[in-house]
Amino acid sequence: MKQLLTGDEAIARGAYEAGVHFASAYPGTPSTEILESISNYKEVCAEWAPNEKVALESAIGASIVGGRALAAMKHVGLNVAADPFFTFAYTGVNGGTVIITADEPGQHSAQNEQDNRNYAKAAKVPMFEPANSQECRDMVIEAYHISEQYDCPVLIRMTTRVCHGKSIVTLGERKEVPIKEYLKDVKKYVCVPANAKGLRRNLEVKLEKLKAFAETTAFNFTEMNDSKIGVITSGACYHYAKEVFEDKASYLKLGFTYPMPDEKIIDFCRKMDTIYIIEENDPYIEERVKILGFNCHGKDLLPKYGEMTPDVIKKAFFNLENSLITYPDGMIVDRPPTLCAGCPHRGFFFELGKRKNVMVSGDIGCYSLGFAKPYNAMDSLICMGGGFSIGHGAQKIFNMKKEEKMRVVSVLGDSTFLHSGITSLMDVVYNNSNTVSVILDNRITGMTGHQENPGTGYNAKGEEASAVDIEGIVRALGIKHIRTVNPNQLKEMDKVLDEFLELDEPSVIITKWPCALKKFSIEDKKEFAGAFTLKMVINEDKCIGCKLCMKCGCPAIRFDSDKKQAAIDGIQCLGCGICNQLCPKNAIEWKEA
């Protein structure tokens, strides 16, 4: 049977067919849909983990006792999971284990652009690089064979276009793989130095065997055409290169890229007059080709960052640019990204952004948009879960200056708090900080498309789960001043910020209101009864066109130049009421949705 699948869906299908028993992930573009797809298979225990480290650790536990396991994450997620990742390479597996890293050449939604092929090399973990959805499915199945045959976890490196691009996939049936017997083996799984030294030696033996595999696997193959140009490539770049060079070049397509197939590369290069390396992110293949003694062109011609799409390749190698359709610039509306209409973070950032002498330490999530106009309410954003601890360090330095009045407000979301913000807040408490830490609880993991998390009361399969009490955690960490507020109530939000900025000890504000796009659970309907059932309308008899309502930055509000009055898009408006509170003439009124 054949189906049109994205790469993420094909990874899930491959895992299903390979008889995977357990899968865990933390959502993050472009990997989120892998676990969402796996969760549709009732045969697989699929879970959202609080963070990537926990996801991998859970998969390791499943593997040790004999189950086939999978952990998936976006590229920066592997940084979080790097600690168990490196040691897992030493211990090896019992049940086969595959780890997915979804890299983002071009940084479509991430804070950096990193090449996680380097992680395979650094941790000495074998790696596949699929180029399309069929290879995603096929490589996952092969990866489980490799994992169990060579006693090692296997990394699969995806990129955005492979994750989200669709192509036809030939499917197979699920192979029910029995859970292996668990045998206690402390020399294999207890990595104290006495055991780890032996495991380190064993790892080199495994890599030598895997190097032989790299030379023979069908996932590393050549397509011989003209010998004047030889292109060595991997992943989506294989398709990009073929679109540009067609049959005017020969190709060495690498699908298993750690360890590298040196003999296959040498044989190919010797047959070519000129060698081009086309790959995204780092010169990972290029460096190996040069080490093997061949001159080649790669990053000397191609950009050192971004996606190596066909137009980029054409420009680099032939100085050709595609003709573009022209359009009148005046018709394009300049529309920067902004918080959604009805977003519960709007009221908070509106009030926070008005304050002087306040540094705002931000974090990763929808609320990152708080840095932008009209709020301008964020000074830093570095990594997930770091908002509280980065703010803590800044406050300590501010406090060293006698005349310094700067205070720090640190901000992160509910899912981010559960991801790694808990330890960040623990640092604030333990080191006696006086920052104001704010948890923006919108009752869901918003930015990645509404995945459940330990605070929502539901698991990845949509089954009821115990909901973590965020306020209870905060109190247990030692915070004495805690306040939960509705961020849509501007006066209350303003008052609480003032009150907490006066404190000289660590404090936490929890803003609690559901994401405007969330499908309400039974619990949400009880707790937030009446939410999003009204809309706002302009009373044209009262509106004086002062534009104060537009300062809240809601995309549902615009200024009608003809009428010289504000106008509200009834389709977008969800009736949060922020604009109503800003209007000096009570010209914004409620109506039934």
Amino acid at 437: S
425 has pLDDT over 90: yes
pLDDT at 336: 76
Per-residue confidence band for 526, with pLDDT thresholds at 50, 70 and 90: very high
576 known ligand binder:
yes
What is the model's pLDDT at position 323?
A: 81
pLDDT at 108: 86
Q: pLDDT grade, residue 463 (50/70/90)?
A: very high
Please report which confidence band the pLDDT of residue 104 belongs to, taking 50, 70 and 90 as the band edges.
very high
Residue 476's pLDDT is: 98
**pLDDT at residue 327 in the model:** 81
269 is known to lie in a ligand binding site: no
Alpha-carbon Rg for the chain, nearest whole angstrom, is 27
Whether 302 shows a pLDDT value over 90: the answer reads yes
pLDDT tens for 354-363 read 999 999 999 9
45 is in an annotated binding site: no
b/e code 252-272 from CB counts within 10 Å (16+ = b): bbbbbbbbbbeebbeebbeeb
Average pLDDT over residues 78-106: 97
Q: Please tell me whether 549 is known to bind a ligand.
A: yes
Please write the tens of the pLDDT for every residue from 385-396. 999 999 999 999
262: helix, strand or coil: helix
Mean pLDDT across 342-369: 96
452/444 Cα distance (integer angstroms): 6
Helix, strand, or coil (residue 425): helix
Q: How far apart are CA 129 and CA 145, in angstroms?
A: 16
Domain 2-215 in CATH: superfamily?
Thiamin diphosphate (ThDP)-binding fold, Pyr/PP domains (3.40.50.970)
With beta carbons less than 8 A apart as the criterion, state whether 58 and 22 touch. Answer: yes
Residue showing tokens 């130049």: 561
Task: Show Cβ contacts of residue 492 under 8 Å, excluding neighbours closer than 6 positions.
Answer: 485, 486
Report the percent of the chain where pLDDT is more than 70: 100
Residue 180, pLDDT score: 97
User: Is 573 marked as binding a ligand?
Assistant: yes
* Mean pLDDT within 205-213: 98
Read off the pTM. Answer: 0.93
The 3-state DSSP class for residue 491 equals helix
Q: Is 136 annotated as a binding residue?
A: no
Q: Average pLDDT, stretch 100-123?
A: 95
CATH of domain 220-318: 3.40.50.920
In this chain, the answer to whether the domains covering 344-528 and 534-592 adopt an identical fold is: no
pLDDT value of residue 474: 98
In angstroms, what CA-CA distances link 515 with 267, 301, 524? 57, 46, 11
**Calpha distance 167→238 (Å, rounded):** 15
- pLDDT for residue 72: 98
Per-domain residue ranges for the chain? 2-215, 220-318, 344-528, 534-592
Q: Judge whether residue 329 has pLDDT over 90.
A: no
Predicted pLDDT at 593: 76
Q: According to the CATH classification, is domain 344-528 in 3.40.50.970? A: yes
- What is the architecture, at CATH level 2, of domain 534-592? 2-Layer Sandwich (3.30)
Query: Is 583 among the annotated ligand-binding positions?
Result: yes
CA dihedral 232, 237, 238, 240 (to 10 degrees): -120
- 241's CB contacts (< 8 A; 6+ apart) are 231, 233, 249, 251, 276, 278, 313
Three-state DSSP at 172 gives coil
pLDDT above 90 as % of the chain: 95
| Residue 85 token pair | 């990742």
The CB density around residue 487, as the number of other CB atoms within 10 Å, is 29
- At 588, is the pLDDT very low, low, confident or very high (cuts 50, 70, 90)? very high
Average pLDDT rounded to a whole number, residues 429-438: 97
Is 471 within 8 Å of 496 (Cβ atoms)?
no
Q: Tell me the pLDDT tens digit for each residue of 214-229.
A: 999 999 999 999 999 9
pLDDT on residue 112: 93
Per-residue confidence (pLDDT) for residue 403, from 0 to 100: 86
Q: What CA–CA distance (Å, rounded) separates 470 from 227?
A: 63
Q: Rounded to an integer, what distance in angstroms lies between the CA atom of residue 255 and that of residue 154?
A: 13
User: Does residue 55 register a pLDDT over 90?
Assistant: yes
Average of per-residue pLDDT across 447-463: 95
Query: Following CA atoms 92, 93, 98, 99 in sequence, which dihedral angle do they give, to the nearest 10 degrees?
Result: -50
Q: What angle do CA 530, 532, 538 make, to 5 degrees?
A: 115
